[in-house]
Amino acid sequence: MSALLQAVEHSAALVTALAGARRPAIALVLGSGWHGVADRVQDAVDVAYRDLPAFPAVGVAGHAGTLRLGRIGGVEVAVLSGRQHTYETGQADAMKGAIRTLAALGVRVLLTTNAAGSLDPSMRPGSLMVLCDHLNMTQRTPLHGEAGVDRFVDLRDAYDPALRAVARGVAAECDVTLHEGVYAWMLGPQFETPAEIRMLRLLGAHAVGMSTVPETILARHAGLRVLALSMFTNLGCGLEDEALSHSHTLAVAQQGAATALRFIEALLPALAREL
């Protein structure tokens, strides 16, 4: 048995023992600016990533490194407050153990969130976007070292069309602006140059960020359905005259948090009905 499989089995057993009767079918990965979602969890049980051998260490401000189990809007959920980014270690597979633990627990849908830069001036900071596709600009894979034919994952519908339709319907009902577009994954941690932003726009991207794509690939490899949401915190470098920083990202995300939370609370019951 591989070390990763042992870590996943151990982590799943620990979570199951603590979860009691909780059996979430939906898991959320919370990116920068989305962590207020964890505060909405009722009847919560927390497990620190450091106590789960399959989970990564997190070292980015605003990422708590906690798995929280409970209910939001009456829906059983597993909420991952934080992720390890590829730029922290150079490895794209940091979330592999966490995603496989979720699958072992019976999770069927991964709802992953991020803070992103908008590449379209009409998509303003504070608004949301549902991902319909992505550009893996790093050309790194979290499946390096995997064996067998299952490593050749089909990403035609990486972002589940039926779940995207649910998200669009909920946004309309809640009067929440929800854009839809292509997310470009850049390695970071440096922000993009104006020339890189021009390149990404020419390639058809609508948003740019430093996360989400590895978890999507891992989730699809594990058989999970994926829905991904971006919160725009800035326009891409050169589209407006503003200096970019992580503190700026967190500050703008905080301003848009109320809308994002309202949307998530309405979205989760609709996703549960879809399942």
Which sequence positions are flagged as catalytic? 32, 63, 85, 87-88, 115, 210-211, 234, 246
Token couple for 149: 């034919």
pLDDT tens-digit map of 108-135: 999 999 999 999 999 999 999 999 999 9
- Given a contact cutoff of 8 angstroms between Cβ atoms, the answer to whether 107 and 78 are in contact is yes
Residue 1 pLDDT: 58
Phi, psi angle pair for 243, to nearest 5°: -80, 135
Residue 58: pLDDT band by 50, 70, 90 thresholds?
confident
pLDDT over 90 percentage in the chain: 80
* Superfamily per CATH, domain 3-274: Nucleoside phosphorylase domain (3.40.50.1580)
Residue 249 pLDDT: 66
pLDDT at 266 over 90: yes
pLDDT tens-digit map of 10-40: 999 999 998 888 889 999 999 988 989 999 9
pLDDT tens-digit map of 67-85: 999 999 999 999 999 899 9
> DSSP string covering 104-159, please?
HTT--EEEEEEEEEESSTTS-TT-EEEEEEEEETT---TTTT--SGGGS---TTSS
Pairing of strands 75-81, 26-30: parallel
Locate the domains of the chain by residue range: 3-274
d(CA 28, CA 79): 5
The helix/strand count (H/E) of the chain reads as 8, 9
How far does Cα 246 stand from its chain's mean position?
17
pLDDT tens-digit map of 176-196: 999 999 999 999 999 999 999
